[in-house]
Amino acid sequence: MKLLHTKTILIVGLGLIGGSIARGLAAGKHCKRILAHGRDSIALQSALNDGNIDAYSTDLSVLAPQADVIVICTPTLSVRKVLEELKDFIDSQVIITDAASVKSNVVADARMLFPDSLHRFVPGHPIAGSEQSGYAASRSELFNKRKVILTPLKENSTVALQTVMSLWQLLGADVHAMSAERHDVVLAGTSHLPHLLAYSLVNTLVDSVSQPDRAQQVFDYAAGGFADFSRIASSDPVMWRDIFLANKNATIDVLDSYINELQKMRHKLMISDGAGLHSEFSRAKLIRDEFIKRFRPDNKKDNENMISGANFAVEPETIAVYPGSFLTGQFRPAADAQVSIAIIDQCKSQQGVFEFFGVPESTKVLDYLQTLRDKNIPVLGPESGYLRVYGGDCGMTDTSKASLIKPVLFKATALPADEFLCGLLVLGAGVMKDSHVRLSGLAQNLEQNLKKQSDGITFFAILAEFGFSAHWHTDTADGLSSLQINSFRPEAATLNLVNTSIDDNGLLIIFAAAAISSGTTRVTLDPARIAAWLNRLGELASWAATILIEGSAVCITPKELQSTTIPCNADPYLALIAIVIGQASKHTVLINQPGALASNFPGLLAELSRLGFGFNVQSTTAQETH
Identify which has the larger pLDDT, 434 or 68: 68
Indicate whether 352 and 438 sit together in one domain: no
| Region of residue 192 (left: phi > 0; alpha: psi -120 to 50; beta: else) | alpha
Statement: residue 450 has pLDDT above 60:
no
Statement: residue 54 has pLDDT above 50:
yes
Indicate whether 611 and 549 sit together in one domain: yes
Last residue of a domain, one of 396, 414, 432: 414
Statement: residue 309 has pLDDT above 70:
no
Report whether 120 contacts 96 (CB < 8 A): yes
**pLDDT attached to residue 479:** 66
**pLDDT attached to residue 212:** 59
Statement: residue 513 has pLDDT above 90:
yes
Indicate whether 347 and 432 sit together in one domain: no
Last residue of a domain, one of 414, 432, 452: 414
CATH of the domain at 582: 3.65.10.10
Report whether 100 contacts 79 (CB < 8 A): yes
Query: What long-range pairs does 106-115 form, CB within 8 A, spacing at least 24?
Result: 106/76, 106/79, 106/80, 106/180, 107/151, 107/153, 107/180, 109/79, 109/80, 109/83, 110/83, 110/153, 113/80, 113/83, 113/84, 113/87, 114/83, 114/87
In the chain, % of residues over pLDDT 90: 47
pLDDT in tens, 530-559: 999 999 999 999 999 999 999 899 999 999
Contacts of 313 (CB under 8 A, 6+ apart): 363, 596, 598, 599, 602, 622, 623, 625
Statement: residue 223 has pLDDT above 80:
no
In a domain, 434, yes or no: yes
pLDDT in tens, 142-177: 999 899 999 999 999 999 999 999 999 999 999 999
**pLDDT attached to residue 486:** 85
Confidence of residue 308 (pLDDT cuts 50, 70, 90): very low
> Which amino acid is present at 190?
T
pLDDT in tens, 86-98: 988 888 889 999 9
pLDDT in tens, 249-282: 999 999 999 999 999 999 999 999 998 888 888 8
> Rounded to whole angstroms, how far apart are CA atoms 178 and 387?
9
Indicate whether 605 and 460 sit together in one domain: yes
Confidence of residue 215 (pLDDT cuts 50, 70, 90): low
Q: Are strands 8-12 and 69-72 parallel, antiparallel or unpaired?
A: parallel
Indicate whether 504 and 596 sit together in one domain: yes
pLDDT in tens, 189-214: 888 888 888 888 888 777 776 565 55
Indicate whether 69 and 158 sit together in one domain: yes
Helix (H, G, I), strand (E, B) or coil at 310: coil
pLDDT in tens, 391-413: 876 444 454 445 677 788 888 88
Confidence of residue 305 (pLDDT cuts 50, 70, 90): very low
Statement: residue 457 has pLDDT above 70:
no
**pLDDT attached to residue 20:** 94
C-alpha to C-alpha distances, 66 to 60, 90, 357, 382, nearest whole angstrom: 10, 9, 41, 37
Q: Which residues of 589-609 are buried (b: 16+ CB within 10 A; e: fewer)?
A: bbbbbbbbbbbbbbebbebbe
What are the two backbone dihedrals, phi and then psi, of residue 567, each rounded to the nearest 5 degrees?
Answer: -80, 135
Indicate whether 552 and 462 sit together in one domain: yes
Indicate whether 406 and 423 sit together in one domain: no
**pLDDT attached to residue 311:** 57
**pLDDT attached to residue 97:** 97
pLDDT in tens, 97-117: 999 999 999 999 999 999 989
Report whether 560 contacts 515 (CB < 8 A): no
**pLDDT attached to residue 515:** 94
Indicate whether 424 and 391 sit together in one domain: no
Contacts of 196 (CB under 8 A, 6+ apart): 244, 251, 255
In a domain, 584, yes or no: yes
In a domain, 460, yes or no: yes
**pLDDT attached to residue 581:** 94
CATH of the domain at 92: 3.40.50.720
**pLDDT attached to residue 216:** 64
Please count the CA atoms within 13 angstroms of the CA of 236 that sit on its side-chain side. 15
Report whether 437 contacts 485 (CB < 8 A): yes
> Rounded to whole angstroms, how far apart are CA atoms 141 and 145?
9
- For 572-590, what is the mean pLDDT? 93
Indicate whether 448 and 410 sit together in one domain: no
Overall domain count for the chain: 2
Helix (H, G, I), strand (E, B) or coil at 168: helix
Indicate whether 463 and 360 sit together in one domain: no
The Cβ of residue 578 has, within 10 Å, a number of other Cβ atoms equal to 28
**pLDDT attached to residue 262:** 92
C-alpha to C-alpha distances, 191 to 127, 132, 422, 540, nearest whole angstrom: 9, 16, 38, 45
Identify which has the larger pLDDT, 584 or 3: 584
In a domain, 381, yes or no: yes
Sign of CA dihedral 572, 578, 583, 586: negative
Identify which has the larger pLDDT, 300 or 61: 61
**pLDDT attached to residue 626:** 45
In a domain, 266, yes or no: no
**pLDDT attached to residue 214:** 58
C-alpha to C-alpha distances, 48 to 41, 56, 143, 223, 277, nearest whole angstrom: 10, 8, 21, 41, 55
CB-based burial label for 93 (10 Å; 0-12, 13-18, 19+): middle
In a domain, 449, yes or no: yes
**pLDDT attached to residue 269:** 93
Contacts of 553 (CB under 8 A, 6+ apart): 522, 523, 524, 525
Statement: residue 10 has pLDDT above 70:
yes
Indicate whether 496 and 423 sit together in one domain: yes
**pLDDT attached to residue 304:** 41
Identity of the highest mean pLDDT range in 287-301, 487-501, 516-530: 516-530
**pLDDT attached to residue 412:** 82
Last residue of a domain, one of 387, 414, 441: 414
Helix (H, G, I), strand (E, B) or coil at 138: coil
Strand order across the 521-524 sheet: 494-496, 521-524, 553-558, 545-550
Domain with 82, as residue range(s), is 8-178+340-414
Statement: residue 365 has pLDDT above 90:
yes
In a domain, 288, yes or no: no
In a domain, 200, yes or no: no
> Rounded to whole angstroms, how far apart are CA atoms 514 and 521?
6
pLDDT in tens, 23-39: 999 999 999 999 999 98
Question: What is the DSSP secondary-structure string of 187-211?
Answer: HIIIIIHHHHHHHHHHHHIIIIISB
